Structure 1
């Protein structure tokens, strides 16, 4: 059950990264702020891998592992672009709910691409937790336009595809320790993404690139937290199907609702309570299936 602890750590670290990164968007734009997680995360991941290489042999990267890593890296960048497009054309609640459909598409893609088991109990658990997120989002679906809904669903599917790519890359490595495997694929992923984003910024948005350099202190903290969170996501992917990891991560929604109620005194509706109950029930069923 190491993957459970790794997933919870990753979710908490990602929340901290988002907090550190949120202020950058207003100052350097969405593309610049998004690039920070890759460009400033790479040095920390590379340094960690260098230190680990003194105690463990690094796995060789075959063409299959490289192809899966590239698939995950490109799909994640594309998913982020569609996510930003959805948030621009729709309310935050609707956009968030659409992003969280990822576990459903992830389970289906994983079954097709990686031949991972997709039994009725596991799919029921994923569907319950995902429906719970939709209900707890508080989104007013009557106001949702068709185009933002479609881009949101595409973003969720692409995030799922990226997780399948990372899972496939990890499975393509020869037998070895899951930590060194996760860190190796993470460094390769961040290197590919950083190169792609730097080319884009140099050619299209040099103002954002200058902003990233000017905000290097905040960017460093966001990059460090991002690399830390990604490492634990990858550890989870190395130990269990990616759909299990991303479904368990939906409990983050429950934590956010609890914090908003206790700290910010925000009222929780009956529909949101029902959604949180579905998330907990779905995650509980998933854990029961995963441990049998």
Structure 2
């Protein structure tokens, strides 16, 4: 199995697991506080990952240019907004559906990659991307609408708008991170991706932590008091982001994000057995469509 494919599948699992734990934090932390823990508690595990990979491979740590740092900052800001929008989308419709709307990032990311990076993917992969988008829309809208007018009305609901906006932010985040990795031109792309992760997470901690300190000073103490619940979120965030960044460094964004749609399968499982949310028949149909879309991308 190619390294980028293994990394992407692992990233989908870690991200779903982290998001489920982060959703649980909403009961004790505010929206911004629940989002900031993934960066604050993700920096130490990220440094450990860099150290372990560097020790195992003996590579050379890359030097960050101003442009690479700027791209990391842009990607960090976009990921912050995407995370906040994703968590906000959970409240109106539930964990599984909120995540489903955000998975339109696969199609959005493919379009952004073509426009901004000049990437190209085979026609069969495009079919897989389109099928995946149809699957997540089916998961979100099946049983809710019966006409095009109702589809448009449903898409205008707060959960849909937050989820789609989160997908846009995550798609653009992938573009910025891949561009940062290309700017580094590291001899070892995996070590470069891990270093990019640490730098980006450190910037995100300063940016969103500063915002939290300014707007919600009382929540800062809660972030540290809840370290037992927050630390696993940071660990899973670091593992997931390390896998995503590795995938972006080794393969086109469109392919990585398309295969990453398997996260919805993990999401349905977490939604049913961890968050105790009830699933319906359409969830099984959507899961099968997701699996078919990923297979098409891999075959392409």
Q: Please give the range of the TM-score, normalised by the shorter of the 2 chains.
A: 0.7 to 0.9
Contact 1:79–1:158 (Cα < 8 Å) also in 2: yes
SS of aligned partner of 1:179 = helix
Map of 1:193 onto structure 2? 204
Q: Distance in 2 between matches of 1:207 and 1:265?
A: 31
Map of 1:57 onto structure 2? 60
SS of aligned partner of 1:274 = helix
Select 1:235's aligned residue among 246, 259, 262.
246
In the TM superposition, residue 259 of structure 1 has moved relative to its aligned partner by 7.0
In the TM superposition, residue 178 of structure 1 has moved relative to its aligned partner by 2.4
Q: Distance in 2 between matches of 1:222 and 1:24?
A: 9
The alpha-carbon distance between structure 1 residues 258 and 175, as it changes in their structure 2 partners (threshold 3 A), is closer
Name the TM-score, length of structure 2 as normaliser: 0.86
Map of 1:250 onto structure 2? 261
Residue 277 (str. 1) matches residue 292 (str. 2): no
Contact 2:8–2:247 (Cα < 8 Å) also in 1: yes
Contact 2:106–2:171 (Cα < 8 Å) also in 1: yes
Contact 2:106–2:261 (Cα < 8 Å) also in 1: no
In the TM superposition, residue 162 of structure 1 has moved relative to its aligned partner by 0.6
Contact 2:37–2:223 (Cα < 8 Å) also in 1: yes
The alpha-carbon distance between structure 1 residues 189 and 249, as it changes in their structure 2 partners (threshold 3 A), is same
The alpha-carbon distance between structure 1 residues 154 and 255, as it changes in their structure 2 partners (threshold 3 A), is closer
Residue 165 (str. 1) matches residue 176 (str. 2): yes
Q: Deviations over 1:74-131 (max 9, x none)?
A: 1111122333443345555543332110000100001111111144322221111121
Q: Unaligned 5+ residue runs, structure 1?
A: none
Q: Distance in 2 between matches of 1:179 and 1:213?
A: 31
Map of 1:146 onto structure 2? 156
The alpha-carbon distance between structure 1 residues 161 and 262, as it changes in their structure 2 partners (threshold 3 A), is closer
Map of 1:2 onto structure 2? 3
Runs of 4+ in 1 over 6 A off after TM superposition: 259-265
The alpha-carbon distance between structure 1 residues 84 and 272, as it changes in their structure 2 partners (threshold 3 A), is closer
Q: Distance in 2 between matches of 1:67 and 1:91?
A: 35
Contact 1:96–1:137 (Cα < 8 Å) also in 2: no
Q: Distance in 1 between matches of 2:11 and 2:155?
A: 32
The alpha-carbon distance between structure 1 residues 256 and 195, as it changes in their structure 2 partners (threshold 3 A), is closer
Q: Distance in 1 between matches of 2:241 and 2:257?
A: 12
Map of 1:76 onto structure 2? 79
Map of 2:27 onto structure 1? 26
Q: Distance in 2 between matches of 1:238 and 1:277?
A: 29
Name the TM-score, length of structure 1 as normaliser: 0.88
The alpha-carbon distance between structure 1 residues 42 and 88, as it changes in their structure 2 partners (threshold 3 A), is same
Map of 1:216 onto structure 2? 227
In the TM superposition, residue 152 of structure 1 has moved relative to its aligned partner by 2.9
Contact 2:76–2:204 (Cα < 8 Å) also in 1: yes
Q: Distance in 2 between matches of 1:274 and 1:12?
A: 20
SS of aligned partner of 1:16 = helix
